[in-house]
Each structure stands twice: as C-alpha cells, then as structure tokens.
Chain A
Amino acid sequence: MKRLMILALAGLFLMTAAGCAKKTAAPISSMTDTTPVVTDMPSRDISGIDEPSISGSAVMDDSAMGGSSDLYGAQGLARIQFDFDQYTLTAEARDTLAANAAYLKANPSKQIMIEGHCDERGSDEYNLALGEKRAAAARDYLVSLGVPANRMTIISYGEEIPLDPTSSEEAWAQNRRAEFKERN
C-alpha cells in the first residue's frame, strides 16, 4: 500500500513537471541572404516583317483573293442567299440556281468556283464549315440539274469577306450567300 502511494506521488510529480513544460516559440529564421542565381537572357530575334516596307491598302478588297487563279465576278451567275445558320436552299435560291445551271450548260467551257459565305455572327471556325456546306449545297443542286461536277470547285470564306461589313439585319442577310466566280 505504501509503495502504491509513493508511486502515485511520483506520478503526480511527473504530471506536474509535464504540465509546466512549455514549448517555446520558434525563433524567426534569420536567413542569411545567399548570393542570388544569375540568369542570362537568351538573345533571339523574332524574324519580323517591317510594316513600312509592305505596301497595302487599308481597305480589304475581295477581289484578287488567293494566289494563282484569276477570278472575276461572272455575269449571268447570280448569287444566292441563305437563312441564318442554314445551308438548305430556299425556293428563291433554287430558282436562281436553275438560271445559273442554264447559263453553265450554255457555256460548256466555263469552270466556276462556288464560294460559301456567312454573316459575322457566330463563331469563325463554325462559319467556315457552314460556308462550305452552303457552297456544297449549291454545287450539289447544280449537279442535280445536269451541270458536270468537275466544272465546279467549292471554297468557304466563312465570315471573312462580308459584302456589307455593317452590323444590321440587312447586311447580315446580304452576307449569307453563295457566290459564283468564273475560273480560267
């Protein structure tokens, strides 16, 4: 019994000691400044094109687009319009295409390029694909009217070459089109 008491007392003394123990605050690390790393900037020049040496008009003209082919607006081949976000042909478009088909059949040597265009609304990339679908729709209809497919190529310009660059419903309606350009 006595031993137990002594043990208990010893235990209590230990507890006291533990309770009084305090963790001192960590001293703020006084970091000695080390010599900083040296970075050598790689010196490379971007091969740029000096603006003053390039001649260019401020206004973009939609003729002379592309490199080799010489295109001019064709008489007798009228353009057709499309509804917003659509590449299906309207009745009006079909009529115009019928007239175009007649012209092409009458002039068997003529080769044409069908351009698909969109209005400025919508995403650029999506409009490139949509323009192509419009041009393809016009071509396929012409083929169904008897024009040989090898006389026609298609290209899409998306919203890049608007007829009317203003932002209005009329302008947009104008820009949603397929154009027919003669190629030589």
Chain B
Amino acid sequence: MRLIIVIVSFCLFLLTTPGFAAKVEISAPGQQTIPLAITQLLPIEGGAQPEIAREIHDVLTWDLDLSGLFSMIDPDSFLSDAQRLGLTSSAVDFSQWRLLGAECLIKGGYRLAGDQLTMDVRLFDINGRRLLYGRTYRGKRKDLRLMAHAFADQILKSLTGTAGPFNSSLAFISNKSGRKELYLMEVDGFRPVRITDHRSIVLNPDFSPVGKDLLFTSYKAGNPDLYRKEIYSGQEARISSQKGLNIAARYRRDGRELALTLSRDGNAEIYLMGTDGTIHQRLTDNWGIDVDPSWSPTGEEIAFVSDRQGNPNVFIVKVLSGEVRRLTFEGKYNATPAWNPKGDRIAFSRMEDGRFDIYTIRPDGSDERRLTFGAGSKEHPRWSPDGRFIIYSSDEDGKKAIYVMRADGTGSRRLTPPSLGECSHPAWSASWL
C-alpha cells in the first residue's frame, strides 16, 4: 500500500513539474521607426477636390516626418484599399496594409460645402486591426492647414502620450521690408504675415503662454523700448520705456510676470516686471553685463548670460533667494539660453572661432551635448511647447534664416525662404485651439 502511494506520488510529481522556460533578452527594438501609410483623403460626398486632399496630405507628411517617429510608406505602393473611404475599422482591409509592412494608417474623408470644410480623419493600428484615434474637424476652407496640423498633434498624442506642437505659430524678425519688422508664420513656414510697421528696428519677440499677444523690443521711439501687441486685434502698447535698455523680455509660464534686461541703473541687469510695466524686483546686482533671461518651467529659476567672471557664460539665479550659480564652464562664449518646457534641459549657443553652434545641457550642468555642426552660425534656440523641437536662426545658406530641428539635433530643415530676407530671433507660441 505504502509502495503504491509512493509510486503514485512520484508520478504525480512528474506531471506537475513545469517546463523550464528558456530565457531570451531583446535589448533594442529591431525597427526604430513606425512604418506609416498616409492616404489621400477622399470626398465623403460630392465632387472630389484633389487640391484639398493633396494639401492635407502634404501637411501631415511634413509634420509626421519631422517628428522622427515614422518611416513613410511610398504612396505609389498603396493597394486598392487606399481608394476606399474607410472611416471605421470594419471598412478597412487591414491585410492589404499589413502586406505593405505598415503599422499605422491614416485615412479619412472631407466635405466642402461653400466655405465650410469638414475633415473626418482616422488613425488605425494595423497590428491590432483597430481604430486608434478619430476626429472630425470643421472650419473655414482657409483653415485647412491648421486642421491638418491639429490632427498631427493628436496622432503624436495617441502614439506617445504627449500632443504635438504643430497647431501653433512661430514669430520671427525679418528685414524683407527694408527694416527689421515682426512676422508670424505657421510651424512649417507657410503663410508668413507681417504684424508690425515700426520702420525702425524690432527685436526679440516672445509669445505670451496664456494670452494671444507678443512682447518685443522696438526703437520706434528712439530708444530700445518694450512693446506688447495683441495678435488678433492688432492693438499695440508700449509697456516699458525705462532709460537705457528694455530688451529680451520673457514671460513667466503663468503669463503674469516677465523677466527682462534694463539698464536704468547704469548697468545691464535682470529685472522682474509686471505685465503693465511696473518694476517688481531687481534680480541681479553685479558690475558685469546681465542679459538674456529664460524662465524655468516652475518659475523658480532664471537662466541668463553674464560676463561677471570674464567671458559671457550662462548662469542660473534663484528668483526667491537671488542666489546665482554658473551653468556653463566649457568654451569661451556661451549665450542665448532657452529652458526646455519640460525643465530637464537648457539649450544655448556657444561661439567658437567666430561662429555659434547650439548645445543643450542639464540644469545641474551635466551631460552637455552639441546639437549643430558644420558651416554657419546657429543662434537663438527656442523650444516648441512640447519640448520636442528647437527652432533657431542659422546663416549656413549665406543669409540668416529660421530652421527647425528635433531636440536631439537631427532632422533640421529650413523654414523661411530666401525671399524673406534675413530672418532671426524666432519664438514658438503655445498650442492654439
């Protein structure tokens, strides 16, 4: 009896012994871009307007290519499903797209009724055979590009968790009219619009993070004064005309205070000022030149340029305590700091042999990385509101122009055409919608 039990127990033991699992480690994805197919939108009803479909396609392709996430599948290889209006996952033949190796698919339709344009767009996941994101955009025909940009923002959000910055505006200074004036344009460089007529020198714009206005410096009244202009109403007001310099004003993240450089006390120092121009506080007190403030996203610190220790370098001041520490120690001339909206990196430009290049560094001074190389001087880096991209001015093509690149230095492309003259001092607005 005992023997039987022992034998049976042993056999049962064998049955319950699990198979040992072999271990395998995959330490990097084999595919580091997502193959994406962008189809041309089809008319939902009524006649086809191929220019509409083409323009939407162009905007989406430009935006999503800049993002760096995707590798585009050649539209010439699309099969019959590209001609079908697939607005639901049941209406899409996923196997066709899987054949092309696509993992994501953009499809949709449009309807133009007079001046009203409706865009019905979808983002599909081929592997899971399901809809990832869908939205209907309605607006005027002329807002087509903004609608497409807004969709691109949402595509990035569904795939990475953070929305893109494409539905926003860029500001820059151009001397196309013979004088330096302030211009606005879309993120992809389209539709530049001039918004000042000072016929003097306009410099260094900054968007409000909450309202729809811009700060800039202008010599219109014979002195570098600080102006604010509302973008839609066009109303303009001079808010600071202190003796000497009123330059490089930057809004704090909550839009309620600004930091700028004033030299009213005989020396260029960083001041804090209200949006109405009243001086709140003087932040720096040093015989050297203190310019170029850039707020940290928390508003607790400001990065700025100072030559208090010899050559110009980037320093950081704590707003509450006034404590100053030095950020850059390499190189002999470091300027134009810009604090990333996520707070983890500060971009700046370093001059070597007479030309500038753009670097980024952690706020604690570690992990300095160079982003731009080659001929030309690259200055005035500014971040996109999601921290993914950097715009800057570069004269690598002869004249200064505005360029955009990813935060790791890849994917740079020119935004302003030569017909806009010399373009510099870019700024990126918050996302608008």
Contacts and interface: CB of A to CB of B under 8 A. Distances in A.
* Direct contact, A vs B (beta carbon within 8 Å): yes
Interface of A: 5, 8-9, 12-13, 15-16, 18-20, 28-31, 33-34, 36-49, 51, 54, 56-60, 65-69, 85, 121-126, 128-130, 132-133, 136, 154-157, 160-161
B247 A128 contact: yes
A19 B268 contact: no
Contact of A123 (B9, B180, B203, B379): B379
Interface stretch (B10-18, B47-55, B61-69, B72-80): B10-18
16 contacts: A5-B2, A19-B15, A31-B89, A47-B234, A49-B194, A56-B199, A60-B180, A65-B201, A65-B219, A67-B221, A124-B424, A125-B247, A125-B291, A126-B312, A128-B291, A160-B180
A68 B433 CA distance: 41
B263 A38 contact: no
Nearest to A71: B222
B291 A126 contact: yes
B234 A54 contact: no
Nearest to B118: A38
Interface string B281-299: 0000000010110000000
Given A36-B135, A133-B289, A156 B5 contact: no
Interface in B264-318: 266, 268, 289, 291-292, 305, 307, 311-312
A136 B245 CA distance: 13
B16 A19 contact: yes
A66 B8 contact: no
Given A9-B8, A15-B12, A66 B200 contact: yes
Contacts of B424: 124
Closest 9 CB pairs of A and B: A41-B139, A47-B234, A66-B222, A123-B335, A56-B178, A129-B268, A48-B193, A36-B134, A19-B16
B9 A44 contact: no
Interface stretch (B97-105, B123-131, B251-259, B362-370): B123-131
Contacts of A129: 245, 261, 263, 268, 289, 291
Contacts of A28: 128-130
Contacts of B231: 46-47
A125 B222 contact: no
Given A19-B18, A49-B197, A123 B245 contact: no
Q: By CB atoms of chain B within 10 A, which of A42, A44, A85, A126 has the most?
A: A126
A122 B221 contact: no
Contacts of B220: 66-67
A132 B291 CA distance: 12
Given A12-B12, A36-B134, A41 B143 contact: yes
Interface string B345-356: 000010100101
B416 to A, nearest CB: 14
A123 B201 contact: no
Contact of A54 (B5, B197, B248): B197
Given A124-B204, A132-B244, 10 more contacts: A39-B137, A42-B433, A46-B232, A49-B196, A56-B177, A67-B200, A69-B222, A129-B291, A132-B268, A154-B244
A16 B197 contact: no
Interface string B234-249: 1000000000110110
Given A40-B139, A121-B354, A16 B289 contact: no
B342 interface: no
A69 B221 CA distance: 9
Contacts, number: 197
Nearest to B137: A39
Chain B binding surface SS class: mixed
Contact of B139 (A43, A46, A65): A43
B120 interface: yes
B40 interface: no
B178 A123 contact: no
Interface in B156-184: 175-180, 184
Interface in B197-235: 197, 199-201, 203-204, 219-224, 231-234
Interface in B110-146: 120, 122, 128-131, 134-140, 143, 146
A136 B266 contact: yes
Contacts of A124: 203-204, 379-380, 424-425
B358 interface: no
A62 B187 CA distance: 33
A85 B354 CA distance: 12
Given A42-B433, A121-B351, A36 B335 contact: no
B139 A122 contact: no
B179 A39 contact: no
Given A67-B200, A128-B224, A39 B312 contact: no
A157 B5 CA distance: 101
B333 interface: yes
Contacts of B356: 123
Nearest to A39: B137
B150 interface: yes
Contacts of B312: 122-123, 126
Contacts of B88: 33
A125 B134 contact: no
B241 to A, nearest CB: 12
A136 B356 CA distance: 28
A123 B392 CA distance: 13
Given A41-B140, A124-B204, A125-B336, A54 B177 contact: yes
A31 B247 CA distance: 55
